Structure 1
Amino acid sequence: MVTLADVARQAGVSASTVSYVLSGKRSISEETRRRVERSVTELGYHPNAGARALAARRSQIIALVVPLRADVYVPVMMEIAVSVTVAARRHGHDVLLLTKDEGPAGVRRVAGSGLADAVILMDVEVDDERVPLLRAQGTQAVLIGVPDDRRGVSCVDHDFATAGALCADHLADLGHREVAFVGYGSGVYHRHAGYAEHTLAGFRERAERRGLRFVQRPCEGTYESTAGTLGRILADRPETTGFVVQNEGAIGPLLGLLRTSGRTVPEDASVIALCPEQLAEQYAPRLTAVTGPAQELGRVAVEQTMGRIAALDRGEEPRDELVLLTPVLTVRESTGPAPRQGSRP
């Protein structure tokens, strides 16, 4: 039996484009429309009646679940949300934004209402309770994040494990042997947020392989909490010369506290951050940082969503996908060779 995918392959377009040509729900160029129609005729494709009925009931809405907790960096979350909205509009869909931290109850309410054709989840935990609920309800879901159990969903995320490894490698290559990992607040780790756990796991594995002696300390990101965190690190490991920071709120306080303690960056202490590019550029010295494109997360998530919806409309089982975006290390002024033994304050 000829499928919609066969038509798309012969016409040299995506399956969603074929679906739009057949449904007339989106404006398609005349040349593309003719090419699709020619392939439909040549292959003898006949859309499945059940799939057509299902497509007709689509709401053209995607629910985007963005829990705005106190311990998340809201600017990045909103950048991803805007990217999802823009990409969805290109596919003729609107976005229903859900920001209240309701956990499974909120997802159940939206999924059961029929308001949305699919759900995109953000702030994903490694053992996220929302995922089995969506799977049980048969709701099409895409996760911006990677849980341990990925059955029945598609996922896109930065490769945080590789990002953590890049930080360890960079400090090791510069000759640092005593390093500290300043993370998010303890609540982020208690709820097993994927981005935090995957980064720390990647950093820990690479640090051990490279022979780094390290400590990891959570930090709430305020000036007071950062001062307490740095004080404990230096009390426990006074020879620490390298700092990895995965907490946007702690970056500024840490740089100031190192300066007031008599440690010059990068001569006495190197600092590398996992943060957005624009944030790394605003500090003095400018930060060596590992970054990833937040907007690309939103675009890929929507493409995965459209692929799952299109598969259902063809009467096919949606394919579970995993896309990890490669992080980029940009070296700036905040990291340098480890100071000689005995030269630190």
Structure 2
Amino acid sequence: MVTLADVARHAGVSASTVSYVLSGKRSISLTTRERVERSIDHLGYHPNAGARALASSRSNIIALMVPLRTDMYVPVMMEIAIAVATTARAHGYDVLLLTGEEGPEAIRRIEGSALADAMILMDVELHDNRLPLLRETGRPAVLIGLPTDTTDLSCVDLDFTAAGALCVEHLAALGHREVAVIGEAPAVYERHTGFAERTLTGLRDRSHQLGVRLLHRPCEGSYAGVSATLARIHEERPGTTAFIVQNEAATDPLLALLHQRRLAVPEDVSVVAICPDQVAASASVPLTSVAVPAQEMGRHAVEQVVARIEGRGVGEVVLLEPVLTVRESTGRSAVAPPLALGG
């Protein structure tokens, strides 16, 4: 393992000079600085977190809070987490992953220990109980998600309200007037998780504007859960001609169950999903979908939090525009003529 002393010997300077180059605490001549930096690059030296903390009063660590709940689709959460880790590394930061459902206690631990320079929070609720403490501490932080009150907060998220509206518009343009939504697990709505609530707002508002009858039913992602939800929808709304799915785990069971009921997709019923592109494209019938841009969300969050650490950032809300990709799962309704959408 390359040490600071190795760099000093290679560059022909003292260890303290290398330390000053790394920390920036003293002025070093340009010639000496460049010689030290060349030695660092040549030897592949990486100062450990403890040394960095001593040199700069920073840990160069970002804490990422990812509560891994059984009612959430973990692969998407992990894709965002990986994007955060790789982007952070590119900026010279490591990531401390916190996966427990600790709420404010996790923030108190980070604040009390000075383990991290900043925090990124996921699984954000509309009235998230972590936010009062987050505002109180003043530690740089970014939310991947959108609470009701974003005052003084930095947030990044897909515009889920617009995503819900986009799904309804696509189906309405194809003539669908009876649309059922297979949503997330009930606990997600009970917690008032931001992305689910905002999608529902977009779905309902745009359906009302376009004269589409919308039925929303929360759903556990298991085969049995989807089967029970589908049976309930067909009992309540037997004229349903299209489904919008916001539950990645439910997509494959839904397509299998529709096939069992001898309902062809898209000839008899259309299906639109809000999910990652790889989930939509690999389904038994490639799904028309609004993508969840996990990597982009993670990258934006890190760039925002690094800017705040360095004193360049202010509270900012970044909403990523949804994009709908048409695949093989949607077609014209045989029941009603297409709706001409204006504006």
Alignment length (residue pairs)? 292
Deviations along 1:31-86, one digit per CA (max 9) or x if unpaired, are xx99xxxxxxxxxxxxxxxxxx9992111110000000001111111111111111
Instruction: Say whether residues 1:80 and 2:80 are aligned partners.
Output: yes
In the TM superposition, 1:66-105 aligns within 5 A as 66-105=66-105
In the TM superposition, 1:175-324 aligns within 5 A as 175-311=175-311, 318-324=313-319
- Which deviates further from its counterpart, 168-177 or 74-83? 74-83
What CA distance in whole angstroms lies between the structure 2 residues aligned with 1:196 and 1:247?
A: 10
Other-structure match for 1:109? 109
Other-structure match for 2:326? 331
Residues 68 and 100 in structure 2, CA contact (< 8 A), matched pair in contact too:
yes
Q: CA deviation at 1:151?
A: 2.2
Residues 179 and 212 in structure 1, CA contact (< 8 A), matched pair in contact too:
yes
Q: CA deviation at 1:340?
A: 3.1
One-letter code of the match for 2:309? I
Alpha-carbon spacing, 1:55–1:328, altered in 2? closer, same or farther (3 Å): farther
Q: CA deviation at 1:152?
A: 2.8
Q: CA deviation at 1:95?
A: 0.6
Other-structure match for 2:64? 64
What CA distance in whole angstroms lies between the structure 1 residues aligned with 2:322 and 2:196?
A: 15
Q: CA deviation at 1:22?
A: 9.7
Of all paired residues, the percent bearing the same amino acid is 59
One-letter code of the match for 2:207? A
One-letter code of the match for 1:333? E
What CA distance in whole angstroms lies between the structure 2 residues aligned with 1:178 and 1:55?
A: 63
One-letter code of the match for 1:113? S
Deviations along 1:153-176, one digit per CA (max 9) or x if unpaired, are 200011111110110000000000
Residues 292 and 326 in structure 1, CA contact (< 8 A), matched pair in contact too:
no
Deviations along 1:207-262, one digit per CA (max 9) or x if unpaired, are 11110011100000111111111111110110000100000111111111111112
What CA distance in whole angstroms lies between the structure 1 residues aligned with 2:136 and 2:309?
A: 17
One-letter code of the match for 1:328? V
What CA distance in whole angstroms lies between the structure 2 residues aligned with 1:299 and 1:100?
A: 23
What CA distance in whole angstroms lies between the structure 1 residues aligned with 2:59 and 2:321?
A: 34
Residues 157 and 319 in structure 2, CA contact (< 8 A), matched pair in contact too:
yes
Residues 61 and 95 in structure 1, CA contact (< 8 A), matched pair in contact too:
yes
1:311 alignment partner, SS class: coil
One-letter code of the match for 1:327? P
What CA distance in whole angstroms lies between the structure 1 residues aligned with 2:244 and 2:23?
A: 51
2:271 alignment partner, SS class: strand
What CA distance in whole angstroms lies between the structure 2 residues aligned with 1:111 and 1:123?
A: 20
Match of residue 340, structure 1, among 322, 332, 335:
335
Other-structure match for 2:339? none
In the alignment, structure 1 segments of 5+ residues that lack a partner are: 1-20, 35-52, 313-317
What CA distance in whole angstroms lies between the structure 2 residues aligned with 1:206 and 1:237?
A: 19
Deviations along 1:239-289, one digit per CA (max 9) or x if unpaired, are 000100000111111111111112111011000000111111111221001
Deviations along 1:103-126, one digit per CA (max 9) or x if unpaired, are 111221112211111110001001
Other-structure match for 1:137? 137
Q: CA deviation at 1:24?
A: 5.0
1:62 alignment partner, SS class: strand
2:311 alignment partner, SS class: helix
Q: CA deviation at 1:302?
A: 0.7
Residues 58 and 117 in structure 1, CA contact (< 8 A), matched pair in contact too:
yes
1:109 alignment partner, SS class: helix
Residues 176 and 335 in structure 2, CA contact (< 8 A), matched pair in contact too:
no
Residues 140 and 153 in structure 1, CA contact (< 8 A), matched pair in contact too:
no
- TM-score where L is the length of structure 2: 0.81
Other-structure match for 1:18? none
